[in-house]
């Protein structure tokens, strides 16, 4: 690896030599262009391990997207903007727990490793407990089909910490379902849900409360419930996601959610 010093700073490619800045290295690094072609990666036996890694990464990304979608519309507007990347990495860890499948075609058994989702940071601007200090209780309904959150003695003036421009707030409670995925060579994504296509209904529901004024005094107990559709078939190879959050808004001619510092949320765990 060559390093260039002097007043003439060249960044980019000149001929077959590329020039770039490498953090922690003094000067500009010069390296010869090259590397395997797409055809070599696709067919050369020397790149078999690379192809296996690429195939499994496709499955992890697909599964991460499914979890992201399962959090619900309200949550996706306020969760950590870097969450999707962290979800992809978490799903890759889940995939690697499969000790039965062959490398390059292992199954993503999230239903057996739900705890992988507990270690991620879902909020972005502020932790939910810093924004909403009201005590609440969480109850999982029978057969994992519902979740209920009960706020105890809600008093916004003392318990809600809003951004400066907010005039109102509301709560949301989301319930989403993600199925385990298996490898399939005959599709572009490389992975598909374990359940058959006859059971591929959308599984999820989202509850939104009314808007409450920021300066409201004692409101009392409030109970919110989200329930899966009656016709949804919930199986053991499916994971139910629960997330509870708060959204801030501003009253102008009508109520508008804030475009920045919109709120916060807390992941209630997967069951």
Q: What digits encode the pLDDT tens for the residues 80-111?
A: 888 999 999 999 999 999 988 888 889 999 99
* Mean pLDDT score, 116-136: 94
Same domain, 28 and 48: no
Same domain, 56 and 131: yes
Helix or strand or coil: residue 212? strand
Q: What is the pLDDT, as a whole number, of residue 247?
A: 96
Same domain, 177 and 214: yes
Same domain, 136 and 165: yes
CB of 131 within 8 A of CB of 189? no
Helices within 98-237 (DSSP H only): 128-131, 156-159
Length of the chain (residues) = 271
Number of domains the chain is built from: 2
Residue 23 pLDDT level (bands cut at 50, 70, 90):
low
Q: What is the pLDDT, as a whole number, of residue 196?
A: 61
Least confident of 18-22, 56-60, 129-133, 174-178: 18-22
Dihedral angle of Cα 64, 132, 257, 226, to the nearest 10 degrees: 60
Looking at the predicted structure, is the pLDDT value of residue 119 above 70? yes
* Mean pLDDT score, 235-242: 93
Looking at the predicted structure, is the pLDDT value of residue 250 above 80? yes
Q: What is the pLDDT, as a whole number, of residue 53?
A: 85
pLDDT tens for 163-173 read 999 999 999 99
Looking at the predicted structure, is the pLDDT value of residue 256 above 70? yes
Same domain, 21 and 98: no
Same domain, 23 and 71: no
Higher pLDDT, 4 or 222: 222
Q: What is the pLDDT, as a whole number, of residue 231?
A: 85
* Percent over 90 (pLDDT), the chain: 55
Looking at the predicted structure, is the pLDDT value of residue 144 above 80? yes
Q: What is the pLDDT, as a whole number, of residue 248?
A: 96
**H-helix or E-strand containing 75?**
helix 73-78
Same domain, 171 and 77: yes
CB of 152 within 8 A of CB of 222? no
Q: Which residues span the domain enclosing 185? A: 41-270
* Mean pLDDT score, 46-53: 84
- DSSP β-ladder status, 263-270 and 238-251: antiparallel
Q: Look up residue 267 and give its two tokens.
A: 């992941």
Same domain, 135 and 240: yes
Same domain, 225 and 251: yes
What does the alpha-carbon distance between residue 247 and residue 257 come to, in Å, rounded to a whole number? 7
Same domain, 125 and 10: no
Same domain, 230 and 248: yes
* pTM for this entry: 0.82
Higher pLDDT, 92 or 7: 92
């Amino acid at each position: 690896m060559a390093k260039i010093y002097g007043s003439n700073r060249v960044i980019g490619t000149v001929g077959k030599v590329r020039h770039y800045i490498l953090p922690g290295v003094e000067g500009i690094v010069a390296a010869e262009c090259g590397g395997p072609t797409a055809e070599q990666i696709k067919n050369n036996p020397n790149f078999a391990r690379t192809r296996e890694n690429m195939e499994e990464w496709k499955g992890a990304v697909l599964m991460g997207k499914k979890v992201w979608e399962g959090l619900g519309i309200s949550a996706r507007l306020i969760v950590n903007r870097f969450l999707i990347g962290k979800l992809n990495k978490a799903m890759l860890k889940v995939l690697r727990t499969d000790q039965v499948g062959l490398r390059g075609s292992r199954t993503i058994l999230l239903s057996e490793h739900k705890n992988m989702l507990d270690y991620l940071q879902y909020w972005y601007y502020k932790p939910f407990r810093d924004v909403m200090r009201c005590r609440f209780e969480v109850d999982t309904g029978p057969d994992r089909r519902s979740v209920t959150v009960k706020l105890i003695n809600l008093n916004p003036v003392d318990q809600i910490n809003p951004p400066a421009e907010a005039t109102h707030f509301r709560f949301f409670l989301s319930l989403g379902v993600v199925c385990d995925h298996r490898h399939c060579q005959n599709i572009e994504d490389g992975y598909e849900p374990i359940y058959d296509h006859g059971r591929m209904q959308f599984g999820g529901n989202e509850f939104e409360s009314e808007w409450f004024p920021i300066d409201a005094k004692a409101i009392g107990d409030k109970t919110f419930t989200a329930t899966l559709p009656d016709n949804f078939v919930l199986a053991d190879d499916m994971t139910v996601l629960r997330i509870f959050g708060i959204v801030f808004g501003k009253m102008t001619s009508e109520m508008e959610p804030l475009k920045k510092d919109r709120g916060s949320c807390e992941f209630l765990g997967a069951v």
